[in-house]
Structure 1
Amino acid sequence: MNTELLGVIATYLLTLVIAIPLGRYLAKVFAGEKVWTDFLKPLEAGIFKLSGINTKEEMNWKQAMKALLTINLVWLIYGFFVLIYQDKLPLNPDGNPGMSPDLSFNTIISFVVNCNLQHYSGESGVTYLTQHFVLMFLQFVSTATGIAASVIFFKAFRDRTTERLGNFWEFFVKSITRLLLPLSLLVGLILAFNGTPTSYEGKDQYISVQGDTVNVSRGPAAGFIAIKHLGTNGGGWFGANSTHPLENPNYLTGVVELVSQCIIPFALVITFGYFIRRRKLSWMIFGVMTIGMLLLLIPMLQSELGGNPALAKMGISQQTGAMEGKEVRFGPAISAYWSTMTTIISTGSVNNMHDSTMPMSGTWQLLGMMINSFFGGCGVGLLNYFVYLIIAVFISGLMVGRTPEFLGHKVEAREVKIAALIALLSPFLILAGTAVASYVFTTHGEAAWAVQPKSWLNNPGFHGFSEMLYEITSSNANNGSGFEGLADNNVFWNVSTGIVLMFGRFLPIIGPIAIAGLLGAKKYIPESAGTLKTDTLTFSLMTLAVIIVLNALSYFPALTLGPLAEYFTMLK
């Protein structure tokens, strides 16, 4: 077997070895059971006392969502002004300028919503102060927000009938103290000992082989990069992200970063089953997500390892695969695996240039973000999957002529309507956003948007459409990766993607939490011989079918205009 493929398999198996016990550990942490990290309780108690929080006061789903939205608004306002005035603040040894209001608007929303869509270059666009005390801070708290929301969701199904879903602030703080900080410290140390910089000094200089003087940015990057992956954030300290040799020095750090971005989304599916005492259900969900991952990964590997047929026709050997845009240190196989995981996990970090991947690879990357429920981001991936699950319950109930039920609670019109609205939200944001961008590009030649739309695209035709489709899709999925042929730092893209970022983050959290809260408050109905069981292979395949059919109907026309058209044109 190709040694590159062995690296992919070994990385995935290592992820599972860590994620499964981590899932069990998190179930105990959030259930209040004894765990080895209980020595942190005095620290947490001090935080709660200082903040005036009584963790014994449990919230209903509305109170939890109010707390979530309020604190996110505070972070947004704080970060917006710091980014604008960062040039007047300390820890700026390279003299980087302050951001324009539209770029600050886009950047702060992007980091608040766990997307990290960067319309600036990391080493030249922000200072050390904003990298640490705004952006890295948000990478911790935005991740903790998603995890806390998922635990609120779990609580709705732990007890038979309840409106008391725990305390959002308790889950939020524990997500940081018991999970994110310890793991970030470990990953940061691994990166630092392998060459990732950790100092606060400015640019360094060296003389290249050609005799040129080269300025190299550095800074305290290791901790930032650790949480960017663990929290499925994805924002790069350097503009080139994990293709940069200081952000990802060698194959070992590449594996560590890949494992880091997958372990929490994997683990939270396991946590769900242990927390609500329905392990079989969580394993069935995990199985569907794994099948979905493989349906995207296998053709991605085939596409990237197969090379470019256009070059093959010219007599150029393609034994090394499609190497354009890839790091020669890593090769196309691990890059294909990274691209798949970073788009389905919604991390958005890259160890290769997605804009340079083969057209069909672009299709699989886009689909991973459009579906956005095969593991997904920390906590929110499971919430997205739950929307499809409720639709599958509703359809299955109609097929067998029974009132749909989920875990002993009747699924009625109100819950189905919420699920349908959330399921339709992503196609609306993606397709409408791309349509508006295409209209502006084709009809406005002047600089009405602070840059001439005709200069947006370095690649005309089908690939140019794919670049715009990818940008909106990445924003809606809170992913952050991009087809970087697109010139996106202008008023149109900063504002439009900022709006998509907000709706794409918060409504898919509020909707599933509302459904769970409504179901949890209903009278529990014991299972009977006629109960539709949701932890069976049959129902799991039904849910997978719903995911595939709904997304195919929603997105196939847009994919046809972009990467599919480019693929068939290349063959011709």
Structure 2
Amino acid sequence: MNTTTAGIVFVAALVIALAVVHVPLGDYMYRVFAREKHSRAERVIYRLIGVQPGVEQTWGVYARSVLAFSAVGVLFLFFLQLLQGRLPLHLHDPGTPMTGDLAWNTAISFVTNTNWQSYAGESTMGHIVQMCGLAVQNFVSAAVGIAVAIALVRGFARHRTGDLGNFWVDLVRGTIRILLPMAFVFAIVLICGGVIENFHLFSQTASTVANTGSQTLPGGPVASQEVIKLLGTNGGGFFNVNSAHPFENPTAWTNFVEIFLLLVISFSLPRTFGRMVGSKKHGFAIVAVMGTLALFSTILTNFFQLHHHGTVPTAVGAAMEGVETRFGVADSATFASATTLTSTGAVDSAHDSMTSTGGMMAMFNMQLGEVAPGGTGSGLYGMLILAVITVFVAGLMVGRTPEYLGKKITPREIKLAAAYFLVTPLIVLTGTAAAMALPGERASMANTGPHGLSEVLYAFTSAANNNGSAFAGLSANTPWWNTALGLAMVFGRFVPIIFVLALAGSLAAQGRTPASDGTLPTHRPLFVGMVAGVTIILVALTFLPALALGPLAEGIH
């Protein structure tokens, strides 16, 4: 079987696996958030945190709850890192010193579901920080994204009410009923595939292949963290090389499982959306947009990776530079596409060594807003925002008040949707311009010219979109970069969430507008194509000049 055929088979098997679980998992998540009864364990948690589960919240209270919970998470993780030298299972001689700015950057990174890492995991973080700090945030930051998405869906489903549910109930249910059970099952699957799970530090030694000496091997509770890093679209690796490390991703079939995990919840949530609004057709329309964009991106990324033109591939004369040789070009390119189409940021190859146009596709995937299928929860609410913008554009074309799911898209709704879309490009382009204007910060680039600009553009694109992957040629562990990227992650995560919840509150307060002869059907292939087209056009108009100066200029150089 040649490389192209193997890549097609790999992608086809992935599509089939996601299609098989779409309905049952989507229906299960619908029941999780639609059921009014609380389990005994949940009631205990509510009592411990002082929550009345039967009391619903307006969008403002819901938003304040999200911000308060996240702020506490940042403070806890910040101080846990600074105090890790006094904790059990800590590293006695960390390779990267834990400074205040690095602790700030890492705390923000994991709480915002970004998992940008300016450090090498195995030589910086002790096991207690990995388990009680980073892994915990992998669960709850993903649950926050799901909760916000569910709140927006309730805004479409409810009428003449100010209530969107209870954030604390949605958070607990998303963690206990969805993320924890799935993480437990797939952690066992990964352990069976060879992913390690122990409490060793650097105490294990092994002889080299040539038997000329020995090597000290790192260990740790990797499988349990690996699965939630992918399932929750987090992406932070236990080891510096992330999913390219054989202890995190040992074989070709575990590589398949890991790509499946980072896509499965986000591709199933549209089914949950369809059930909650009472129209399965609308759920299928949303997942069709996601699938169309994802397949388009994956095909292009694979194509561009097989044509080795770019700074690094040209220098070595092959597209295999930076590719994990165990998986090959196709599987590595598919992983790169999937991890940037979601907000995961995990990698099984070096994105900085991708071809110029292959690297551009990774950036373009994030600049789409990571909606195909996007992050856990964030992908669904991002796509619904784009659907709102699309019906508004369609309304302008025919001169009618736009409607979506029986809700009128008035100037208030479109202003909130537009503000949501504009936040991330503003952060990315402002941050990139500031970094390129400062000589000291340009010194962090390993390359000059278009590829150097691409490294900086990629970093801010990754941070503002809460992805976490990087062009590793950028040395970002400096006070300025840690601070600037931390701010990009904070504003890129929480400002859009505020706009999403405000939009949900505005929609929930409306009544239901009956469909008329002039209502645009929003569940048919025409609408699917329109949403996909609006998504691509908006990104192209916003980022094309920056891409032209970076990866496109490198590609034609």
Contact 2:266 2:376 in 1 (8 A): yes
The equivalent of 1:304 in structure 2 is: 305
- Hey, what's the Cα distance between the residues in 1 that align with 2:497 and 2:179? 20
- Please report how far the alpha carbon of residue 360 of structure 1 lies from its aligned counterpart in structure 2 after TM superposition: 0.5
Letter of the 1:509 partner, please give it.
I
Letter of the 2:230 partner, please give it.
H
The equivalent of 2:161 in structure 1 is: 162
- Hey, what's the Cα distance between the residues in 1 that align with 2:189 and 2:546? 42
Gaps of 5+ in 2: none
- Please report how far the alpha carbon of residue 28 of structure 1 lies from its aligned counterpart in structure 2 after TM superposition: 1.4
The 5 A counterparts of 1:250-289 are: 250-289=251-290
Does the alignment pair 1:23 with 2:26?
Answer: yes
Letter of the 1:538 partner, please give it.
L
For the residue of structure 2 that corresponds to 1:365, the secondary structure is helix
- Hey, what's the Cα distance between the residues in 2 that align with 1:342 and 1:423? 21
- Hey, what's the Cα distance between the residues in 1 that align with 2:312 and 2:108? 42
For the residue of structure 1 that corresponds to 2:215, the secondary structure is strand
Contact 1:106 1:498 in 2 (8 A): yes
Contact 2:459 2:470 in 1 (8 A): yes
- Hey, what's the Cα distance between the residues in 1 that align with 2:321 and 2:314? 17
Letter of the 1:209 partner, please give it.
V
The equivalent of 1:397 in structure 2 is: 395
Mark the CA change 1:458 to 1:98 in structure 2 (over 3 Å): closer, same or farther.
closer
Does the alignment pair 1:562 with 2:550?
Answer: yes
Contact 1:83 1:98 in 2 (8 A): no
Mark the CA change 1:88 to 1:308 in structure 2 (over 3 Å): closer, same or farther.
same
Does the alignment pair 1:223 with 2:220?
Answer: no
Spell out, residue by residue over 1:379-424, the C-alpha distance to the aligned partner (whole angstroms, 9 max, x if none): 1111112222222222211211112222222211111111112211
The 5 A counterparts of 1:56-71 are: 56-71=54-69
For the residue of structure 2 that corresponds to 1:205, the secondary structure is strand
Does the alignment pair 1:438 with 2:436?
Answer: yes
- Please report how far the alpha carbon of residue 78 of structure 1 lies from its aligned counterpart in structure 2 after TM superposition: 1.0
The equivalent of 2:489 in structure 1 is: 501
Does the alignment pair 1:492 with 2:489?
Answer: no
The equivalent of 1:447 in structure 2 is: none
- Hey, what's the Cα distance between the residues in 2 that align with 1:212 and 1:470? 40
Contact 1:61 1:513 in 2 (8 A): yes
Contact 1:345 1:377 in 2 (8 A): yes
Letter of the 2:122 partner, please give it.
E
- Hey, what's the Cα distance between the residues in 2 that align with 1:58 and 1:311? 54
- Hey, what's the Cα distance between the residues in 2 that align with 1:178 and 1:357? 38
Contact 2:162 2:505 in 1 (8 A): yes
The equivalent of 2:208 in structure 1 is: 208
Residue of 352, 363, 366 corresponding to 1:366: 363
- Please report how far the alpha carbon of residue 367 of structure 1 lies from its aligned counterpart in structure 2 after TM superposition: 0.5
Letter of the 1:511 partner, please give it.
F
The 5 A counterparts of 1:493-532 are: 493-532=481-520
Q: TM-score, normalised by structure 1?
A: 0.92
- Hey, what's the Cα distance between the residues in 1 that align with 2:178 and 2:162? 27
85-94 vs 70-79, which moves further: 85-94
- Hey, what's the Cα distance between the residues in 2 that align with 1:132 and 1:195? 20
The equivalent of 2:100 in structure 1 is: 101
Gaps of 5+ in 1: 445-452
Contact 1:19 1:267 in 2 (8 A): yes
The equivalent of 2:423 in structure 1 is: 425
- Hey, what's the Cα distance between the residues in 2 that align with 1:234 and 1:176? 17
Letter of the 1:561 partner, please give it.
L
Contact 1:474 1:481 in 2 (8 A): yes
Letter of the 1:75 partner, please give it.
G
- Hey, what's the Cα distance between the residues in 2 that align with 1:135 and 1:314? 37
Spell out, residue by residue over 1:327-380, the C-alpha distance to the aligned partner (whole angstroms, 9 max, x if none): 111111011110001001110000111011111101110010001222110111
- Please report how far the alpha carbon of residue 160 of structure 1 lies from its aligned counterpart in structure 2 after TM superposition: 3.2
The equivalent of 1:448 in structure 2 is: none
The 5 A counterparts of 1:271-420 are: 271-308=272-309, 322-372=319-369, 373-420=371-418
- Hey, what's the Cα distance between the residues in 1 that align with 2:290 and 2:58? 29
The 5 A counterparts of 1:230-241 are: 230-241=231-242
- Hey, what's the Cα distance between the residues in 2 that align with 1:271 and 1:242? 30
- Please report how far the alpha carbon of residue 11 of structure 1 lies from its aligned counterpart in structure 2 after TM superposition: 2.2
- Please report how far the alpha carbon of residue 498 of structure 1 lies from its aligned counterpart in structure 2 after TM superposition: 0.4
Contact 1:4 1:331 in 2 (8 A): no
Spell out, residue by residue over 1:263-295, the C-alpha distance to the aligned partner (whole angstroms, 9 max, x if none): 010011111001111111111111111111122
Contact 1:136 1:224 in 2 (8 A): yes
Contact 1:376 1:382 in 2 (8 A): yes
For the residue of structure 1 that corresponds to 2:171, the secondary structure is helix
The equivalent of 1:449 in structure 2 is: none
322-331 vs 529-538, which moves further: 529-538
Mark the CA change 1:46 to 1:464 in structure 2 (over 3 Å): closer, same or farther.
same
Q: TM-score, normalised by structure 2?
A: 0.95
Letter of the 2:333 partner, please give it.
A
Mark the CA change 1:520 to 1:253 in structure 2 (over 3 Å): closer, same or farther.
same
- Please report how far the alpha carbon of residue 191 of structure 1 lies from its aligned counterpart in structure 2 after TM superposition: 1.7
- Runs of 4+ in structure 1 displaced over 6 angstroms? 309-316
The equivalent of 1:450 in structure 2 is: none
**How high is the sequence identity, in percent, across the aligned residues?**
38
Does the alignment pair 1:540 with 2:540?
Answer: no
Spell out, residue by residue over 1:202-233, the C-alpha distance to the aligned partner (whole angstroms, 9 max, x if none): 21222213423322111111101110000000
- Hey, what's the Cα distance between the residues in 2 that align with 1:542 and 1:5? 27
- Hey, what's the Cα distance between the residues in 2 that align with 1:435 and 1:312? 27
Contact 1:5 1:334 in 2 (8 A): no
Letter of the 1:302 partner, please give it.
F
The equivalent of 2:134 in structure 1 is: 135
Residue of 540, 543, 555 corresponding to 1:552: 540
Spell out, residue by residue over 1:58-80, the C-alpha distance to the aligned partner (whole angstroms, 9 max, x if none): 11111111111111111111111
- Hey, what's the Cα distance between the residues in 2 that align with 1:265 and 1:408? 25
Mark the CA change 1:191 to 1:28 in structure 2 (over 3 Å): closer, same or farther.
same
* Equivalent residues, number: 550
Letter of the 1:152 partner, please give it.
A
- Please report how far the alpha carbon of residue 94 of structure 1 lies from its aligned counterpart in structure 2 after TM superposition: 4.6
Letter of the 1:13 partner, please give it.
I
- Hey, what's the Cα distance between the residues in 2 that align with 1:314 and 1:200? 41
- Please report how far the alpha carbon of residue 98 of structure 1 lies from its aligned counterpart in structure 2 after TM superposition: 5.6
Mark the CA change 1:497 to 1:275 in structure 2 (over 3 Å): closer, same or farther.
same
- Hey, what's the Cα distance between the residues in 1 that align with 2:235 and 2:260? 13
Contact 2:14 2:256 in 1 (8 A): yes
Letter of the 2:368 partner, please give it.
I
